[in-house]
Structure 1
Amino acid sequence: MKLHLSNRSSRLLYLFLALDLTFIALHIIYTYTGLISNSSFSIEQDRGYAEIFQYFKQYWSVLLLSILALRKRSFLCLIWSLLFFYLLLDDSLQIHERLGGFISEKLNFSSWLNLRPQDFGELTVSILVSLFFLIFISITYYFSDRFSRKISKYLIMALFALALFGIVVDMLHIAVKSPSFYTLLGLIEDGGEQVVMSAIVCFIFSLPECLPQTISENNRYVK
């Protein structure tokens, strides 16, 4: 069974990537030229224009996966929808930042490699939440249908790509003291997250179009 983007999904992906590149370009103009003074054009700005666009993509990922979970009666798709719902809440409400500060204070984390106790607290929260969802996904995977398993393989790869930018590059961004590299890593971190999330939501958008074909294949296999 192969999953691929339809023409409609591909056009949506091109549109989203074009918007991502536009936000990245506006961020560069804001950061390096001073021609734009409004900080909302920075992709690093909380509740800036780029981050609101990211909320939009996460919201539709949650909604589409929830609909797919109902259509397929797939608990695995439901867990994926809950994971993206957490990501939406985390970005909008700064959950891992707040919990990270609480944990670092209670456990008396120390600074290391230019990383603050707060950063280690945030990293702890991100790792624990990731492990929580990965454990549930792994358990449910073995009891799920072929279609849900195939979806999960793609989404797990996408999740690791998000973690690369959102956790690994984020830690490097904080640890680096050179102003020029600090600014560049901030751009790579948030710009990378934007691009990966665009690919994810367009992939999820294409899944209902693959569903009838998959059901037909399964019926033929049973016969």
Structure 2
Amino acid sequence: MKVALKSFWCQIPDFNPMAILGFFVLADALAWLLYGFYTQDILTSRFFHIARDRGFGEIVQYPKFGVMIAVLVRARRQWPSRLVNAWLILFTVMLLDDAIGIHEAIGGWLLPEPSAHWRGLRLKDLAEAAAIAALEGGTFLYMAYCHFREPPAKRVFSWWFIAGLVPVIFSGLVLDIVRVPMLEAAGEMIAMTILLAVVLWRYRVRRDAPPVPAPGAHALPMTS
């Protein structure tokens, strides 16, 4: 069974970055279109509110993480690396946190009174940010540990991933705390698309890189 699954995975065509990105840009545009219908009372369910947690606009972002995880699974098979594994774990944790709402549940448990404020900020939002820092931040620290344990040549892709992650962190933490729901929703969509583009690009760069000339040498994971 394991051999069959491995064979099936290897037969899946390579990822087409432009097609994937184009699909998600259209999906994001659809989310905004449906939100426009919602504001005009054509659609009545709050599921289509662009800033709703676990609404259509947010759910569209989950497959972006799914594609990134799939890319890293394939990269891990082709170029085994502890650092690739660490990024795979980080993206999986981020997806589960977003989909299940772990940090929101923790924030609500710590501060069940949503109206409590401190210097203009909701304490519940600060509690949720602290939960994100503990959950995803801890996983990020593990990735950073693996990152700096690797030789510089093996860190190239990771530096790009970190750069792509910055807009996601900004939209998920800063914009959430300052309570600008529409800007947060738009920022998350754009940031996730940027991160997805970076992951697809680095995979394509490594895949198309020439093989290591030294006989018997192993290819460096996503280093080019």
Q: TM tier, shorter chain?
A: 0.7 to 0.9
- The number of residues matched between the two structures is 200
CA distance 1:140–1:94, shift in 2 (3 Å): same
Match of 2:146 in 1: 140
Match of 1:23 in 2: 31
1:158 has 2:164 as partner:
yes
Q: 65, 71, 84: which one pairs with 2:72? A: 65
Match of 1:47 in 2: 54
Match of 1:128 in 2: 134
Q: 1:152 is matched by which residue type in structure 2?
A: S
- Residue-by-residue CA offset, 1:47-104 (whole Å, 9 max, x unaligned): 3322222121112222221221232111111111111111111112110011223344
Q: 1:52 is matched by which residue type in structure 2?
A: I
CA distance 1:212–1:90, shift in 2 (3 Å): closer
* Structure that is richer in helix per residue: 1
> Once superposed, what is the RMSD of the aligned Cα atoms?
2.8
CA distance 1:219–1:190, shift in 2 (3 Å): farther
1:187 has 2:182 as partner:
yes
Q: Residues of 1 paired with 2:27 and 2:137: CA distance?
A: 32
3-state SS in 2 of match to 1:165: helix
1:80 has 2:61 as partner:
no
Residue 68 of structure 1 contacts residue 77 of structure 1 at CA under 8 Å; is this kept in 2?
A: yes
Match of 1:100 in 2: 107
Match of 2:20 in 1: 12
Residue 125 of structure 2 contacts residue 176 of structure 2 at CA under 8 Å; is this kept in 1?
A: no
3-state SS in 1 of match to 2:135: helix
Residue 24 of structure 1 contacts residue 191 of structure 1 at CA under 8 Å; is this kept in 2?
A: no
Residue 74 of structure 1 contacts residue 144 of structure 1 at CA under 8 Å; is this kept in 2?
A: no
Match of 2:121 in 1: 115
**Structure 2 gap ranges (5+):** 1-13, 218-224
Q: Residues of 1 paired with 2:214 and 2:30: CA distance?
A: 45
**Higher RCO (CA 8 Å, separation ≥ 6 residues):** 1
**Structure 1 gap ranges (5+):** 1-5, 174-184
Residue 45 of structure 1 contacts residue 51 of structure 1 at CA under 8 Å; is this kept in 2?
A: yes
Q: Residues of 2 paired with 1:188 and 1:69: CA distance?
A: 35
**Percentage of matched positions with identical amino acids:** 23
Q: Residues of 2 paired with 1:97 and 1:13: CA distance?
A: 29
Q: How far did residue 29 of structure 1 move?
A: 3.8
Q: Residues of 1 paired with 2:15 and 2:61: CA distance?
A: 23
Q: How far did residue 130 of structure 1 move?
A: 4.2
TM-score (norm 1): 0.76
Q: 43, 63, 66: which one pairs with 1:36? A: 43
Q: Residues of 2 paired with 1:218 and 1:171: CA distance?
A: 51
Q: Residues of 1 paired with 2:107 and 2:192: CA distance?
A: 24
Q: Residues of 2 paired with 1:92 and 1:101: CA distance?
A: 16
Q: 1:211 is matched by which residue type in structure 2?
A: R
Residue 162 of structure 1 contacts residue 193 of structure 1 at CA under 8 Å; is this kept in 2?
A: yes
Q: Residues of 1 paired with 2:137 and 2:161: CA distance?
A: 15
Residue 107 of structure 2 contacts residue 124 of structure 2 at CA under 8 Å; is this kept in 1?
A: yes
